[in-house]
A and B are shown apart, each in its own frame.
Chain A
Amino acid sequence: MAEEHVEYLVIGSGAGAAPLTATLVGAGKQVLMLEKGPLLLTQAQSPDGLSDFKRDETFATGAEKRITTPGVANQGQSFYASHVEPDLNDEPHVYREADGSERVTIEGYTAQVVGGGTQLYGGVSLRFTPDDFRLASFNAGRADLRNDPNGDVVREARDWPIDYDDLEPYYCKVEELVGINGTRDGQEKPASVDHYQPPLEPNQISAFAAQGMDALGMRRYRTPLAVITQDHPPSGRTVPVDRDTIKTAFVNRYGDPLGLKSNTWVSLLAPLRDKPSFELRANCVVTHLEADGDRIARAHYRDPLGGRRTVTADTVVVACSAIESVRLLMISAQQDAALGQRLNPNGLLGAYFLTHCFGGAQCIVPARADKSKTLDSDWATDHCARADWIRANGLWAGGAIYNNTSDGALPISLARTWHAMDMDNMWKGYLYDMGILGQGFEDYLEGNFGRRLSVAFMANQVPQRENRVELHRSATDKWGRPAAFIVKDWHPHDQALMDTLADQCRQILASSGPVQDLSWGSVGGSVVRIANHILGGARFGADPKDSVLDPDCRLWNVDNLYLTDGACMPTSGGANPTLTIQANSFRVGDVLLGR
């Protein structure tokens, strides 16, 4: 049988992969998409009328499993994963702890399923600000940056090779085609067209956040969320008759059986299903790429039962989330030194790995709300993303602030996230709080259920070359391929930024009424916490000596290889990254059509 050949091979099906696929297939191009995870349908799509996503708390955080990877410091420890997160023993990610020990982590995995991380995310769909794309220019010549005695920040800040205006039409395109609800007024992100669907009534608990923002003079808007609130003609989705039932709290970390959450599968890929030039193969993992001179000639992959297969393609796009994309290129390079030289001539592949400066404040509000009637967030403010605020605080960049509404909204999630700062520590806070039993359990419910309010910030992390993704020297996945090894830490300026933004969040809650138990903080004390925002490691730029990808997200020295997920980001942006990854993917789709 002749080897299969396609025009475009797209590896991954999430935010970086689906938009450009929609563009290519829409223009009549032939695309084969390989996705490692399963294709889980919505009720409406499924022939049996049932979805493999359920409103079931044990789907978000399942049964106990234990880390068995040899030689890591947390071997034997428990972990709890969603049904579509990778199994850590089959596909470990190892990171270096601050004390130098190495541990397996579930942080930094998005989801292994068609739609990728957009299946499980909360759907917060903020744009970056214009300044987020030009942080080198913004900070040029500054000497007022806090906690930066060596001038690292100014030296390492980068402008993107594209600016806000280049991306703006594509932001509009995502907002229209993906399906997002929210409000525009009050944002620091100018929009040429407003495609937002109207938001639903906010949860009652969010009134406290709104009051706090107002008291501080922070302009607020309804957080843009990738959940449809009206019928959505571009994707053919319809909403329930009682639109208020769209709010369920089964949002963050849950796939949506009704397909109302606008993941890339329901919004962008499912509408292509009947096009003869598009084929999506789920449960297929690409193991490595093979080169022929300056081109990728073929991809080696395993089919759903592990059989070895190959496919050749005119153009290959890698978009399987930053850590995994970088790992795929590194594994491919390991098998072919000449390809390695092309992929990584300057040693920057894997370097400048980024996440987000992230943190916030939480409290107990005086009036209980039914938090089960909610989406992921209600109110957002760009107050701390404004240039004058950033400069006045001696910071290099700002960030978005928004309130969370679905956190701890359901009884089991309230317990398993109790004092748990990251996914690796799920359940531990509750379990070690030995007072929560009998009457203590009553008090715990009385004090917390429906009364916890949190406000979070999401801000730029300083790029540092030593923050990087490598291949681990001994840990392997179930295919015998080297596992990813993640080394990262915070810059002192990150800490100053996080302290400042956490204090802004504290002020919001302190100004919201007679709240109790107010606490605030950030991920600054933890090197592992990633919030599943995995970015950088293959940044794009205008200078081939300073970047891995050219401005079109093509590998500088490989004619037909593109990388279009968050790995391309030179800086992490002052907001959740998904909308920007999607917009950039649409942009690259147009680039590919123009070649």
Chain B
Amino acid sequence: MQTATVVAKSDQYVLNHCSRLLARDSGDRRHDFGQYAPDDARAAICEAWRLPVVDSHYDGSSAQTSYPYNDVTFVYDGRAAGAAEVAVLGTFAALYEAVPMRQIRFLGEDTGVFTATLRVPKGEVHTYKFRVDGRHVVDPINPQLVTLDNGQRWSRFFTEACQVPLTLSRRQRELLARLVAHLLPFRTRENRRFIQQVYNQIDRGTRGQQFPLAYRLDEEVGVVNYIDKLLARAEQHNLDDYRTCLSMIDGILRGRAGGIDPLMLGPEQFQQLYGEMASDNVDGWDKGRYGSPAYFLLLLRRHAMTGAFAHPKSGGNSGAAGWMYLESRFRDDQDNTLFDWRRAIEAPLGRNTDYRG
């Protein structure tokens, strides 16, 4: 574990990212979509999940050397507590080395809001706390909280292209993989072969450069991981929907197949299930536990579509396989692609060297 690398960010940058969250009079629970406990003050904060800010990194010299990292900006609002000295410590630094946070200024005045930006490798998960005048506290805004084995609560964040499962169990992820595989086109024999070839055909060097963070390039092109990350952060309010519905679907399919593991079932059973979910009437569905199977299907379809074709930093579209599928599938008479995504996307993922991501 190394000493944390601090990155300089302007006060304007930090205010741009936190003003929308912190500046408000209303304490109404305007942003509670079901993700918060009744006493959680975060419900009054718009998009509380945006903190800490996980952004691109640029070292000033090259895309290749910058690409493996993110800039992570922590913000602590010390106004209510009258904080004088604030630091952040976490698993990103050696032995929980406390990184001092500086106070943001506006019009030459102290604001009472503290910040620090650290360079953190992509693909990682970390826990952290703030040390406020000697006292350790979790981040009062970031809703990602974990309880460690010793019973302590810590705040958590993860960087881009993170592949570590955070919200769904192995069983839930495997079942989800079967569900989304039937929604997306990658399951047909021809496309399945294509997806495998994409990864196998490229040499080791290119693989390391273009897909340094893609370890799993499978039929659902990272969609399950995308959903796992979305439920951990921006759409935490949909996590219970997934847990409840995946558990019910698991039970329903097992019951229909006389106890056979649903993961072993053929596509027909899943297709039948979709039809029933679409009509909002699934045989065996407990509407007392979850009112509308059709609603869950809508959620699943939006997430599957987004996860297959979003920028790979989101954890989906693994290794840009979704984009490469479109690139290879749609060609003109001269065999030039009709979806040349690489020309707009930053190198080294794409080939644009003007845009840095």
Contact = CB atoms under 8 A, between A and B. Distances in A.
A-B pairs with lowest CB-CB distance, top 8: A38-B16, A306-B23, A63-B234, A283-B19, A411-B309, A89-B30, A248-B344, A304-B19
A50 B71 CA distance: 11
Contacts of A439: 185, 188
Interface stretch (B90-98, B148-156, B300-308): B300-308
B58 A47 contact: no
11 contacts: A47-B10, A55-B345, A57-B306, A258-B355, A283-B23, A368-B332, A427-B302, A430-B301, A431-B302, A450-B339, A478-B24
A66 interface: yes
Nearest to B20: A87
Nearest to A59: B311
B353 to A, nearest CB: 9
Contacts of B31: 65, 68, 87, 89
A47 B305 contact: no
Given A412-B310, A479-B26, A431 B301 contact: yes
B11 to A, nearest CB: 9
A477 B42 CA distance: 17
B322 interface: yes
Nearest to B331: A368
Given A52-B17, A55-B344, A450-B338, 20 more contacts: A38-B15, A43-B355, A47-B10, A48-B8, A50-B357, A51-B356, A52-B55, A54-B56, A66-B237, A87-B46, A89-B46, A283-B19, A304-B111, A368-B332, A370-B337, A430-B302, A438-B182, A441-B184, A449-B339, A450-B330
Which residue, A283, A306, A432, has most C-beta atoms of chain B within 10 A?
A283
Interface string B305-337: 110111101100000001100100110100001
Given A434-B278, A441-B184, A478-B30, A49 B356 contact: yes
A305 B12 CA distance: 12
A437 interface: yes
Q: Which of A245, A249, A438 has the most CB of B within 10 A?
A: A438
B148 to A, nearest CB: 27
B58 A258 contact: no
Contact of A449 (B111, B274, B308, B330): B330
A480 B26 contact: yes
B346 interface: yes
A99 interface: no
Contact of A372 (B7, B305, B339): B339
A292 interface: no
Contacts of B19: 38, 283, 304-305
Interface in B114-161: none
A340 B17 CA distance: 36
B341 interface: yes
A51 B274 CA distance: 42
Interface extent on A, as a size class?
A: 35 or more
A88 B17 CA distance: 18
B47 interface: yes
- Determine which residue in A57, A62, A63, A87 has the highest number of CB atoms from chain B within 10 A of its CB, and name it: A63
A369 interface: yes
Task: Say whether chain A's binding surface is mostly helix, strand, loop, or mixed.
Answer: loop
Interface string B274-313: 1000100000000000000000011001100110111101
A412 B305 contact: yes
A88 to B, nearest CB: 9
A479 B326 contact: no
A50 B230 CA distance: 24
Q: Is the interface of B mostly helix, strand, loop or mixed?
A: mixed
B265 to A, nearest CB: 15
Contacts of B341: 372
B218 interface: no
B6 to A, nearest CB: 13
Given A368-B330, A438-B187, A439-B188, A245 B354 contact: yes
A90 B24 contact: yes
A358 B301 CA distance: 31
B322 to A, nearest CB: 7
Interface in A399-432: 410-412, 415, 427, 430-432
A64 B310 contact: no
B46 A249 contact: no
B contact residues, range: 35 or more
Contacts of A445: 185, 326, 329
B352 interface: yes
Contacts of B337: 370
A192 B329 CA distance: 49
Max count, chain B CB within 10 A of own CB: residue among A38, A62, A437: A437
Contacts of A87: 20, 31, 46-47
B185 to A, nearest CB: 5
B175 interface: no
Contact of B338 (A62, A69, A369): A369
Nearest to B267: A438
A58 interface: yes
A3 interface: no
Contacts of B309: 57, 410-412
Contacts of A240: 354
A56 to B, nearest CB: 5
B251 to A, nearest CB: 23
A302 interface: yes
B247 interface: no
B9 A48 contact: yes
Contacts of B297: 434
A258 B24 contact: no
A12 interface: no
Interface string A451-484: 0000000000000000000000000111110000
Interface string B49-60: 000000111101
B24 A479 contact: yes
B248 interface: no
A282 B24 contact: no
B106 interface: yes
B32 interface: yes
Given A438-B187, A441-B185, A479-B26, A55 B15 contact: no
Nearest to A240: B354
A480 B25 contact: yes
A68 B185 contact: no
Contacts of A39: 12, 16
A250 interface: yes
A450 B302 CA distance: 21
Given A283-B15, A304-B15, A478-B25, A437 B183 contact: yes
Nearest to A479: B25
Interface string A534-561: 0000000000000000000000000000
Q: Among B55, B60, B113, B311, find the residue whose CB has the most chain A CB atoms closer than 10 A.
A: B311
Contacts of B182: 437-438
A258 B25 contact: no
B192 to A, nearest CB: 13
A442 interface: yes
B22 A306 contact: yes
A480 B234 CA distance: 26
A303 B26 CA distance: 16
A33 to B, nearest CB: 14
Interface in A137-166: none
Given A57-B311, A306-B25, A478-B25, A50 B183 contact: no
B355 A55 contact: yes
Interface string A280-306: 001101000000000000000011111
B23 A302 contact: yes
